[in-house]
Amino acid sequence: MFTEAILTTYKEKYDLVALCDTNELRSAYHNKIYKEKYGLEPLPTYHVRDFDLMIEREKPDVMIVTSADFSHHEYIIRALKAGCDVITEKPMTIDEVKCQQIIDTVKETGKEVRVSFNYRYAPSRSKVKELILEGAIGQVRSVHFEWLLDTTHGADYFRRWHRDKRNSGGLMVHKATHHFDLVNWWLDSVPETVFGLGSLGFYGKINGMAQGNYYPYLRSTDNPAARDDPFGLDMRENEKLNNLYWKSEHIDGYVRDLNVFGDGISIEDTMNVLVKYRNGAQMSYSLHAYSPWEGYRIAFNGTRGRIELDEMERSYISAGSGHITDGVTQSRQLKVLPHWEKPYEVEVPHGEGGHGGGDPLLLNALFSDKPVTDALGRSATHVDGALSILTGIAANRSFATGQPVKVSDLLKCDFL
């Protein structure tokens, strides 16, 4: 998403000067694609062990961090100390210790960290923000938010490094950071107290055997034992997965096709959280990673009425063979239900591009050479990045202890 934008839409303002990865074959694959699509000569490539050397030689103004979640803080901090501004994907990092280090380094260096929360920019979510700002339902007092990951997308987190909470912070951090950021932004508030329950209720070997979903294999690619498993992934069948992962895994050990009903999973797939915000609002939130459709339902209850937004982002159907087929269903409905008045639907313009049309607008905010005026305040700083993950970090602690967690106990900062 980032590199193609720099090489096309924003090529007059920015130069892509280097690539850095744990795996030289992945860097070479990207250089091959850039050559084929854009006629670009191969960029300098560096192994992560030469990260500082790359900065010294290439002298970048901005570093874009898209490494595995557990390493975000390392490259953010090293880039800041070397004089670079940083754009990072979500989550900014995975725990309160690493988050504190980033906050302290931003303060120490005076450099900028921006977090790429593309969900803020999708037309439907922007429209909700507009309605709240306009006072369509008065003051928001409570939010009910349900997010569903289907057994295509949701299962994928249980095949790779995300399945180990030490790598990803679990789905409460890796995935829900998007959702918690949206609520912080919609409410213009910060989380104060979090209580949660989480479990591994569907994936994993014990659940697979109990549900009759277990196939006895470790990895699925080129494995006859996985042939009939609807959750199996054969990377050779996908050109990108084959080149980026299957052919290059011997370099750095990035395994992409583990059995989702195997051992070694330490993240949850069933999560429910209660949050109290500084402005008095409350949220009930649920995230499930094994739904037959993907999308969300959210309702805002205010002093003058209610807003409801339902979005089905993807559905699937069984083709009869037991294998999952990407579906064609997508629906969206945004309703306002005022007190004592007739409910009405709000039209939401269709957004082109990824993440519901949010990606192009986010990229314009990050890279445009013209000032971007945004009354909705969608641009996100390291403070927004911290606030979004703190709800998930607190939820993880609550999962472990069975107790509510005060978010202000997690960090020393001036925004809690």
Q: Please, which residues have CB within 8 angstroms of residue 123's CB and are 6 or more apart in sequence? A: 348, 349, 350, 351, 356, 357
Round to the nearest angstrom and report the end-to-end CA distance of the chain: 32
User: Would you state the structure tokens that stand for residue 117, as one six-digit string?
Assistant: 């929360």
For residue 94, pLDDT over 60 is answered with yes
Grade residue 247 by pLDDT with cuts at 50, 70 and 90. very high
User: Would you state the structure tokens that stand for residue 246, as one six-digit string?
Assistant: 């299957």
Q: With contact defined as beta carbons under 8 Å apart, do 233 and 8 qualify?
A: no
Give buried/exposed letters for 210-231 (b at 16+ CB in 10 A, else e).
eeebbbebebbbebeebeebeb
Q: With contact defined as beta carbons under 8 Å apart, do 355 and 118 qualify?
A: yes
Looking at residue 316, its pLDDT comes to 58
For residue 110, pLDDT over 50 is answered with yes
Measured at the CA of 264, the angle between CA 267 and CA 162, to 5 degrees, comes to 45
Tell me: the pLDDT tens digits for 278-290? 999 999 999 999 9
Q: Taking residues 14-35, what's their average pLDDT?
A: 96
Lowest-confidence region among 61-65, 217-221, 324-328: 324-328
Tell me: the pLDDT tens digits for 163-208? 999 999 999 999 999 999 999 999 999 999 999 999 999 999 999 9
Looking at residue 330, its pLDDT comes to 74
Q: 330 exposed, middle or buried (CB, 10 Å; 0-12, 13-18, 19+)?
A: middle
Looking at residue 324, its pLDDT comes to 41
Question: What is the SS3 assignment for 122?
Answer: coil
User: Residue 135 and residue 56: Cα distance in Å, rounded?
Assistant: 51
For residue 156, pLDDT over 50 is answered with yes
Looking at residue 34, its pLDDT comes to 96
Average pLDDT of the chain?
94
Lowest-confidence region among 13-17, 285-289, 357-361: 357-361
Q: With contact defined as beta carbons under 8 Å apart, do 241 and 164 qualify?
A: no
